[in-house]
Amino acid sequence: MPVSERALAPLAGPTGVLCTLALDHRAAMRNAFRRAGVPDVSEETMLEVKRRIAGVLAGRATGILLDPAAVGCRPPGIGLLVPLEEQEYESLDGGRLNGLMEDFGAKEARSLGADGCKLLLHFRADHPATAARQVELVRRAAEDSHEHGLPLVLEPLVYRLEGEAEDAYVAAYAGLVVEGARTLAGSGADLLKLQFPSEAACRELTEASSPLPWALLGGSDVDGETFVGQLELACRAGAAGFIAGRAVWGGALGLPAGEQEAWLHDEALPLFERMCATAEELAAGIPR
């Protein structure tokens, strides 16, 4: 059974709205650096950049999502989410299966001061070969989290199957996001972190997620301005807030280290403040 809704409160603001900064990227951050023209980034460099980003932006957030190696970047006074998933996935009949870290679970997250756990889940509700096994993975992660008194934030990601035509995937995308939320609403998780389906499908997404609250995911496929527009639509339709990362701070990665902090202050912080203001004005928030 999900933990008490009050367990989500440390991750939200005083009105229950989630304004969460995502910085738990590991291989994904290395890939983002590579796309920005910076190859072979070290763990030390990634940690330095995370400290820089958190130092500028996290003071405005209600919570922060950090990998175990970076939890020291958390400023005082905001909630901490820590991921449980392995970074890699395996293929099965054209679909994806991912797993949990072997040496890190909810017990270790709690020892680091976490207020919740996060599980990224590759999920296609229309792919039976993987869907049942992924639902079982969520059940295990939820049981582990709840055993240690922590809520589980679940991030189901719709993806294109191997061999699937791009136009077929695009046409099915919104329905897959909604159906994934509907399938996973009873999985044991406490909050869903969801992709933007479409303007027309946002309210349906709120209904599909019930009784769980949901927050909008800010991924690498949208820029900040686009995300602000999506966030407004999502919050008007019932979202509890947002959990966003690269859409906010991704532009810093291609800059020299000495220029990143100024860019974060001048560009990323005003954008993040707009996101927070939009959510605080329009979001449903988590139940209190």
Is the CB of residue 216 less than 8 Å from the CB of residue 254?
no
pLDDT at residue 31 tops 90: no
Instruction: List the one residue out of 76, 172, 57, 171 whose CA is nearest residue 115.
Output: 76
Topology given in CATH for the domain delimited by 5-282 = TIM Barrel (3.20.20)
Given a cut of 70, whether residue 44 has pLDDT beyond it is yes
pLDDT digits (tens, 9 = 90+) for 112-162: 999 999 999 999 999 999 999 999 999 999 999 999 999 999 999 999 999
Cα–Cα distance measured from residue 72 to residue 250, given in angstroms and rounded to the nearest whole number: 21
Cα three-residue angle 230-214-17, rounded to 5 degrees: 80
How far apart, in whole angstroms, are the C-alpha atoms of residue 88 and residue 72? 24
CA atoms within 13 A on the CB side of 280: 15
Q: Which pLDDT does position 3 carry in this prediction?
A: 57
Q: What is the pTM of this model?
A: 0.95
Tell me: the pLDDT tens digits for 203-262?
A: 999 999 999 999 999 877 789 999 999 999 999 999 999 999 999 999 999 899 999 999
Q: 285 Cβ partners below 8 Å, 6+ apart?
A: 12, 15, 16, 17, 18, 213, 240, 241
Percentage of the chain modeled with pLDDT above 90: 87
Average pLDDT, stretch 74-79?
94
Write out the two tokens for 215: 């927050």
Report the 10 Å Cβ neighbour count for 265: 12
- pLDDT band for position 5 (50/70/90)? low
Q: Three-class SS of residue 164?
A: coil
**How does pLDDT run across 268-284, given as a tens digit for each residue?**
999 999 999 999 999 99
Give the domain ranges of the chain. 5-282
Residue 72 CA from chain centroid, whole number: 19
Instruction: Dihedral sign for Cα 77, 222, 27, 8, please.
Output: positive
DSSP 62-124: SEEEE-GGGGGGPPTTSEEEEE-EEEEEEEETTEEEEEE-SS--HHHHHHTT-SEEEEEEE--
